[in-house]
């Protein structure tokens, strides 16, 4: 009995000592939220795979946009948006990316790389697309004719639309339907210019919308654009971004997980 009583007392003391530590551990595990509202503000984040990315508050036309991130993991939410477009141009593209874009490179990236040197690039992206207004959920891959990490890329912009609100699949500009990764896509392209720099714009629009993709191979999209001579194998892939082109509102759009490799 004495031995049992002593053991019980020792256990009680151990629990009393351990309890504050457990409380401290629980406190350390509480979500830490990061919020940023400045135009073109960056936040470096990571995921459990050990890869690091950059969340970018890109609002080139919207007067107000705030992003929120949890625990500096590969996620973000459009916490506030005042985007309101009066024409066909989007007002913002909040995104998370791997690579180099607008003078900022995500930590430890191997990009830029020449197209022929890419090693089966792939990406996974999980989103929550419940928001009013007009927007799309799209990958944005930029290609340059020479190696660069800043300035306007002058090769091609390849966008992969997964979802949208307020738009319709265009059928009037000579595009075509094709199958990639067992899924139907609408492909179209044109040539925009900005500040005396022009590039090939290539868009793949998923016919059946989705809020997530897992291990999506990017090679088939790049090869399709190569087949139309819109991308050259000697060009450089600068970045792989995932974000939201926003024309109106968009508050509530959220990325819950993102990964990419080149």
The answer to whether the Cα torsion of 193, 189, 75, 113 is positive or negative is negative
Asked whether the predicted pLDDT for residue 156 surpasses 50, the reply is yes
Residue 225, classed as helix, strand or coil, is: helix
Asked whether the predicted pLDDT for residue 30 surpasses 80, the reply is no
Model pLDDT, residue 23: 35
> DSSP per residue over 63-114, as a string?
S-EEEEEETTBS-EEEEEE--B-SSSS-SB--EEEEEEETTEE-TT---SEE
State how far the Cα of 38 lies from the Cα of 137, in Å rounded to an integer: 22
- Ranking 161-170, 201-210, 236-245 by mean pLDDT, the lowest is 161-170
The answer to whether the Cα torsion of 225, 229, 232, 237 is positive or negative is negative
Asked whether the predicted pLDDT for residue 11 surpasses 60, the reply is no
Asked whether the predicted pLDDT for residue 46 surpasses 90, the reply is yes
Burial class (CB in 10 A: 0-12, 13-18, 19+), 2: exposed
Nearest alpha carbon to residue 66 among 37, 96, 33, 92: 37
Residue with tokens 């600068």: 238
Model pLDDT, residue 107: 96
Asked whether the predicted pLDDT for residue 260 surpasses 70, the reply is yes
Model pLDDT, residue 2: 38
Q: What is the pTM of this model?
A: 0.87
Which one has a higher pLDDT value, 129 or 257?
257
Asked whether the predicted pLDDT for residue 29 surpasses 90, the reply is no
Which one has a higher pLDDT value, 27 or 72?
72
Helices of type H across the chain: 2-28, 219-227
Indicate the pLDDT class of residue 86, thresholds 50, 70 and 90: confident
Model pLDDT, residue 3: 40
Residue 90 and residue 78 in contact, taking contact as beta carbons nearer than 8 Å: no
């Amino acid at each position: 009995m004495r031995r049992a009583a002593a053991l019980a007392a020792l256990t009680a003391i151990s629990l009393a000592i351990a309890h504050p530590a457990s409380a401290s551990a629980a406190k350390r595990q509480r979500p830490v939220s990061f919020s940023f509202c400045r135009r073109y503000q960056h936040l470096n984040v990571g995921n459990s795979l050990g890869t690091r990315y950059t969340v970018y508050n890109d609002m080139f036309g919207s007067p107000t946009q705030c992003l929120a991130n949890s625990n500096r993991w590969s996620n973000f939410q459009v916490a506030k948006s005042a985007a309101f477009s009066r024409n066909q141009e989007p007002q913002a593209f909040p995104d998370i990316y791997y690579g180099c874009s607008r003078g900022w490179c995500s930590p430890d990236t191997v990009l830029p790389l020449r197209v022929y040197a890419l090693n089966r690039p792939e990406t996974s992206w999980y989103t929550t697309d419940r928001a009013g207004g007009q927007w799309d959920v799209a990958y944005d891959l930029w290609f340059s004719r020479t190696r660069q990490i800043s300035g306007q890329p002058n090769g091609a912009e390849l966008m992969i639309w997964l979802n949208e609100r307020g738009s319709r699949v265009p059928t009037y500009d000579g595009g075509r339907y094709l199958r990639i990764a067992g899924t139907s896509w609408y492909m179209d392209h044109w040539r925009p210019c900005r500040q005396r720099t022009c590039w090939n714009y290539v868009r793949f629009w998923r016919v059946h919308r989705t809020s997530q993709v897992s291990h999506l191979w990017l090679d088939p999209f790049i090869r399709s654009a190569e087949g139309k001579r819109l991308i050259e194998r000697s060009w450089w892939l600068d970045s792989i971004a995932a974000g939201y082109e926003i024309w109106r509102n968009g508050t509530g759009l959220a990325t819950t997980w993102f990964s990419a490799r080149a």
